[in-house]
A = this chain, B = another copy of it.
């Protein structure tokens, strides 16, 4: 690991994943395919606009597949691609780090599991 200056790769990853929502979206999509409004319910704080923008960015990066079912009204399903599953370790390490940060912030060591 000393072999390279990790610089650009870390930057590259952060450019793609660095926003407020993208890794969060990935973490929910790791559960399986989800529809647009299901994701909105998972992440109540996200605006419709940002949900669209970030899903499209992940789609363009080849990490998420968007499927439109021509029902009335239409339903759209999002799921991680095979490539997108490479986000799993990223999500996992961020989750663990975030949990640790939060556990430090208040010394109550118990956090509800569903916040993870």
Residues of A in contact with B (beta carbons under 8 Å apart): 1-20, 23-24, 27-28, 31, 42-45, 57, 60-62, 83, 86-87, 89-102, 104, 111-112, 115-116
Copies in the complex: 2
CA distance A62 to B16 in the complex (A): 27
CA distance A15 to B57 in the complex (A): 20
- In the complex, the answer to whether A98 meets B8 with C-beta atoms within 8 Å is yes
- In the complex, the answer to whether B101 meets A13 with C-beta atoms within 8 Å is yes
Contact A89-B93, Cβ < 8 Å, known A13-B101, A23-B10, A44-B2: yes
Question: What's the least CB distance linking A43 to chain B, in Å?
Answer: 7
Q: Which residues of B contact A24 (CB under 8 A)?
A: 6-8, 10-11, 14
Q: Which residues of B contact A12 (CB under 8 A)?
A: 98, 101-102
Q: Which residues of B contact A19 (CB under 8 A)?
A: 18
Q: Which residues of B contact A31 (CB under 8 A)?
A: 2
